[in-house]
Structure 1
Amino acid sequence: MNYPIYLDYNATTPCASEVIEAMLPYFGSHFGNAASKSHPYGWVAENAVEEAREKVANLICAKAKEIIFTSGATEAINLGIKGTFEAYSGEKQHYITALTEHKAVLDTFSEIEKSGAEVTYLPVDSKGTVSLEELENSILPHTKLICLMWANNETGVIHPVEKIAQLAESKNLIFFTDAVQAAGKIPVFTKGIHLMAISAHKLYGPKGVGALYVRHNHDLPKPLAQIHGGGHEKGMRSGTLNVPGIVGFGKAAELRLAEMNREADRLEILRNRLEKGLLELSDTSLNGSQLARLPHVANIAFGGVEGEELLKKVNQKVAVSSGSACTSISPKPSHVLAAMGLNADLGRASIRFSLGKSTSESDIEQTLDWVTKVVLELRK
């Protein structure tokens, strides 16, 4: 197949060749079940899992024992939120999140609302940022948890995580952050954070594996298991471990830790070149903050064109999206951009460009030429 230029790295990333190489033996010669404690097949698999756990922990400045492997970030988010709700069962409960969170977070909060939880959905300003003052004012006597993402998947906007963690700590609240788009792209930390969701396929690892960081050594309740049957992963997530996937996750984390800062600098230069060229077109604007955002993401609104037609034409030569891959099948405008105040038409006519390891200067120049051509033709 003659693939287009790929600029949709926030949707998923290709497995690094080193990751594939690390995984292959665990599909074949080292096929053992990591829970088989009585023979070498199980021992080899268990050792591989524990090595990977250490590598994933290193990526986010955690301890290995604080990493719980899951089938992905969506499961990690469900475990963190629903598990906390159940841990406080019988108590009046209030949660705080934001309107621009990923659907995995918003839909999970919607579910616990059906069971009696109160949820405050913080608004954002036109740049996609939350007000720390409004966050603090939203805290009630029965607030249990604050859930705010590290970096937005559509705009790349980075929340002031350190200040949010400090606020949560001062109020003795659980702080849960969806760090799926941040981990492996920018440095992250766990100080003051109780729960963190991350995913392998966003950082050049395999699909179908993620993790929930669960902070140890504090008095607040830890989430209760949502999947039962065998007591794997310290009883928090039962099920036979995906050993090849976990090994791949560990290798990807190790690679990202080594190359992340250098690659971020390279991609920021390319992103800025793309953004500058696109914003030279009339009636275009940047969605989100110019400053506090991921170095590889640009979300641009193109006025004067019909959104569905724009996306269809651009994707003939450049693979991009209008928002989250989880909602790309929907013709509705992005809930993130709507929360930032964009009207529906402009929200539909916005494109997220997300760059990655294979993105070259030539890709950027070709993308500029093609998108400019498409926009000008559609405006005729």
Structure 2
Amino acid sequence: MKSFKAFLIEQSPSGVSGRFVQLDESQLDGGDVLIRVIYSSVNYKDALAATGRGRIVKRFPCVGGIDLAGEVVSSAAPRFRPGDKVIVTSYDLGVAHHGGYAEYALVPGGWVLPLPPGLSLFEAMALGTAGLTAAMAISRMEDNGLRPEAGPVLVNGATGGVGSLAIDMLAARGYQVTALTGKPAEADWLRSLGASEVMLRGDMPAILKPLDKGLWAGVIDNLGGSVLAWLLSTTKPGGVVASIGLAAGVDVNTTVMPFVLRGVSLLGIDSGYAGFAVRERAWSRLASDLRPRQLANIAVARDFDELPQIFDELLAGKAHGRVVLRVAGEQAAANGGQA
């Protein structure tokens, strides 16, 4: 194999930064499935990792990218053969193991899932870890009793990857969805995804009550902090809250009142190290009953060379939805890739 292009995250006395480099197969991490990466995706976590804005990367140097989709080149894992289309999301990918921002990746076979029937490689990365997380949240909430007739479901961080996909999925299943956002200009876009109501974060009360009027049968929370505290206090009796992110803070100043007086359930959602069976179930639903209707309206394709610019846009709050990164692209892969 000739050398191939990769985006490597490094640490120096001046800080953490990323750059494009040329690697060869001997520089890949250990694993038993070699994959030609056709698409990856760009998550907020990837931007934090590559710029050092968050303590994400666990070892340096590390190729970034927590998602990838591509074709198997060779495999010592009996489940896979050359030419198989596969996806890998999260685990230590792009954090402690060279990730999806390279034209080739070598990964443990236990991390690899066959591409679900009905999804293309591009669609799989339009979903990626964000779609997996949203599907896991909805599945857990429904396992805990959430149904459309129970009442409205609020989704915050609504313009992000998890939020926008969750709105689409929930609306398609008949839920009345309220999108909570800090971006007034995105209200029409959120409605186009299926939100029946758009609420601005500035409309939240300045003073939080331990227990407020019950409004939501369910909540998908991407923010944490004081936003989550308010949402817990306004969840209806028997409601379910899926906690996914911490963009607004890690501290939640609340009481036990929503839990003991209303029977509210707080569900933690971790797509990073979820078991294989959980992932298989989520991906199966993403290819069937949770398949987003507006995926083409949520995802945009960008070229590999644009990656640093995309990071800047994400961190500046200038992006919405999902960014799919053309690492090789399906046509390039069909012609033998770039290596």
Structure richer in strand, relative to its length? 2
So what's the TM-score if we normalise by structure 1?
0.32
So what's the TM-score if we normalise by structure 2?
0.35
Q: Which has the higher contact order (CA 8 A, sep 6+)?
A: 1
